[in-house]
Amino acid sequence: IRLASMGLAAALCAGVSARAESPPRTLPLDFQADVRADGRLANIAPDAGLSPAMQAMVRKQVSGWHYIPGTWQGRPVPGRVSQRIVVDVVPAASGGFSLRIKSVTSVPMMLDSKRAPSSRAMHPPSYPIEAQRQGVEETLVYAIRRDPQGKASEVELLDSQAGDNWKKMFDAAARKAIRQWQLEPVEVDGQHIDCRLITPVTFRLGVGRSLPPVTMPDMRPYLSRVPDGCPLPPVLDTKVEGVSL
């Protein structure tokens, strides 16, 4: 899309006054959608906070995207995605601005060092104080047994990026939180299944939504180590970086 003026660009994309002096450099455009077993999207729901014009643009753009669905016992199964399209606001040669896709990200289970733990079903761990002081960040990957009712148990650490001393500290904090998790049951063909969830837990220094987007680590390489792994979230298979909206 080409936006005719700086004020219109800001109004359409960010929901701010059309009198704004200049548009933001990047914009987040969030959406959720169901992914069918064939990798196509259905029930696309752009962020309700976007203007109607922007919602229509997002819906039109992502309707043509293809995803690699998760699998269970060797066959693809439907899933759901919640993603953020980050777009650059680029001055157009003929005046105004255009929007260009910079990245498409998913948000992993992440703890902001400035954010207190919440009471959500996936309760985030407490950030180790000494790690905060030393500026240490960490991503751990776990396999967690999820029974047909969604209860988490049998926690196995599959991967850690930090050294041994830090790993023990982060692992203890993550396991304490995981014991409180009540997960959504996994359903395949209308039946709740017993499987192991492969998921990252990321400790990151920063403040809330001002953080840059986080790219979800690829969990597929871990499937060979977890043969009873739950179907993984669908992965975008369409190359979209640099595409203009």
Pairing status of strand 2-3 against strand 97-106: antiparallel
Q: Residue 173 is encoded by which pair of tokens? A: 């904090």
Chain centroid offset of residue 170 CA: 21
Of 13, 181, 211, the C-alpha closest to 107 is 211
The pTM of this model reads 0.68
pLDDT tens-place values along the chain, 245 residues long: 444 333 334 434 444 333 344 556 888 999 999 999 999 999 999 999 999 999 999 999 999 999 999 999 889 999 999 999 999 998 877 777 889 999 998 754 444 444 433 334 567 889 999 999 999 999 999 999 988 887 888 999 999 987 788 999 999 999 999 988 888 888 888 888 999 999 989 898 874 444 455 566 788 889 889 989 999 889 999 999 999 88
User: For residue 216, what are its two tokens?
Assistant: 């979800």
Return d(Cα 218, Cα 231) in angstroms, integer. Answer: 13
SS3 state of residue 159: strand
CA distance 56 to 211: 27
Tokens of 122: 């996936």
Burial 4-16 (b: 16+ CB within 10 A, else e): eebbbbbbbbbee
